[in-house]
Amino acid sequence: MMRKLLILVLLGVLLLGCTQQPTQPAGKKEVVIGVIGPMALPEGSSEKNAAMLAVEEINAKGGILGAKLKLVVGDTKINPDTAASEFRRLATVEKADMITGGFSSGVMNAMMEVMAETKTVFLADASSPGHPAMVEKEYDKYKYWFRISQNNGTTFAWDMVEMIDFLEESGYSVDRVYIIRDEHIWTDAVMAALKPEFEKRGIEIVADREVGRGYTDYEPLLLEAKDLNADLVMPILAIAGTGDALAKAWGTLKIPALLAGHDLAAIDYQFYDKTNGMANYEIFLNDGGALVTACPTDMCKKFVEAYKAKYGHYPESHQAYGAYDAVYAYKIAVEEAQKAGEKNPFDPDVVVKYLEKHDTKNPIVLTRTIAWHKNHALVWGDKFVRNWIAQWQDGKQYIISPKNVANGELKLPPWVTK
């Protein structure tokens, strides 16, 4: 009798063991997620908020392989030295298993060296094509780096060219473009890709003006654009941080040229108010492939509402989608590694292997559809992540192209007639 009882108890324990899914690898009680970025900017704060949301959601469902997630935060202050030391702190002191964030290609270079040294999986935010080129050139050293937030800077050029093609198709002819861009490495890559495309289309760049961080005197530039009969003022601005001042000057002076390009500040849902409504009709690239008013996936729709419920407002920059996806992508890779029987699914080399499996044939559908090239750059395209062409119209953001995701139509400012 006693023997039968013992066998029953033993079977019960074994059965319980089988149902206790997922199992956690020996010694792993906590998964540390690092988020790093310029925390005084919407780009950094939204990354932190979004990563926190993902961590809480995953923890509510049992964590990753039973281990709870903990979020640690580093502030780059858009300074390469600070960024490198903060990355090192997250990787070595906080012992982050994965770090997400970044922002600013120059700062990213500094962090990638620490990443390589500490072998930390880094799902990153920065657009210079130089970073995936480093992965390609020295794979073993830089393989831990994956781009998650947006496409390569060169794709901004493709999307801006498509923006011009779209304007042409909509009846607005673009022949003379006035460029205002960041005095920064990332815009050089954009310009290199943009120029031949303009030449093919017979578009003349009437001026190419570079501005530094915090630059505000846009009126003389806009008046110059007017003098040069530009029909399009094209901002390529992220680091300047003063896209609001540009939009304000353009709307106030009513420059007879469209304001259309890549103005990172315009993605901020508060941008319209910050310009006192002068951003009306500004056309911008919806960098990062998602917009509150036009979410490409169901997860994106749930995410933006959850974000608003938690923080009282929608994501203040597109980096939020990247950071949120980063935590889930990491979870998926670790769980796939565990399922495949890897001894330590949290090993950075193992995680890299399983992230790499998500190419165009096997994308991950998160807030956007994520797939990586061999050099770990995000795959660009209508079915993946790309910069939608969007416009501010009476205080609301609308995607106006491509047609398969558009939820609004192009509206020209009344003072621009052509």
Partner 1 sequence: MIDLIMRILVYGAVSGGIWALAASGFSLIFGIGRILNFAHGTFFVLSAYICFILAKDLGVNLFISYIIAILLVGALGVVVYKIMMAPVRHHEVMVIIVTLAFALLVEQILLLLFGEHGYSIPSFVSGSMEIGGVLIPKTRILAFFVSIAVIILLEYFINRTRTGKMISAVSQDSEAAMLVGMDVEKLFMITMFVSASLAGIGGLLFGQVFGASPIFAVKSLIYAFAIVILGGLGSVRGSIIASFIVGYIITTTIILLGSRWAEFVMLITIISILIFRPTGLFGVEE
The footprint of partner 1 (CB under 8 A) covers 38, 40-42, 45, 183, 209-217, 219-221, 223-224, 226-227, 241-242, 244-245, 248-249, 252-254, 265, 268, 273-276
Cβ at position 228, least distance to partner 1 in Å = 12
Q: Are 35 and 94 in contact (CB under 8 A)?
A: no
Judged by beta carbon, residue 179 or residue 371, the one nearer partner 1 is 179
Residue 211: which region, alpha, beta or left (left: phi > 0; alpha: psi -120 to 50)?
beta
Cβ at position 206, least distance to partner 1 in Å = 13
> For the CA atoms of the chain, what is the radius of gyration?
23
Cβ at position 253, least distance to partner 1 in Å = 5
Cβ at position 47, least distance to partner 1 in Å = 13
Judged by beta carbon, residue 97 or residue 263, the one nearer partner 1 is 263
The tokens describing 218, both together, are: 């846009």
First to last CA, the chain: 95
The tokens describing 185, both together, are: 């490495």
Residue 363: count of CB within 10 angstroms of its CB: 17
Beta strand pairing call for 388-393 and 396-401: antiparallel
Cβ at position 244, least distance to partner 1 in Å = 5
Judged by beta carbon, residue 268 or residue 287, the one nearer partner 1 is 268
Residue partners of 13: CB distance under 8 A and separation at least 6: none
Separation between Cα atoms, residue 359 and residue 371, nearest integer Å = 5
Judged by beta carbon, residue 121 or residue 278, the one nearer partner 1 is 278
Residue 9: count of CB within 10 angstroms of its CB: 10
Judged by beta carbon, residue 114 or residue 179, the one nearer partner 1 is 179
Compute the Cα dihedral for 114, 115, 117, 120 and give only its sign. positive
Alpha helices in 290-347 (DSSP H): 298-311, 319-339
Judged by beta carbon, residue 187 or residue 286, the one nearer partner 1 is 187
For residue 243, give the nearest of 283, 205, 204, 195 by alpha carbon. Answer: 283
Cβ at position 401, least distance to partner 1 in Å = 26
Cβ at position 248, least distance to partner 1 in Å = 7
Judged by beta carbon, residue 11 or residue 223, the one nearer partner 1 is 223
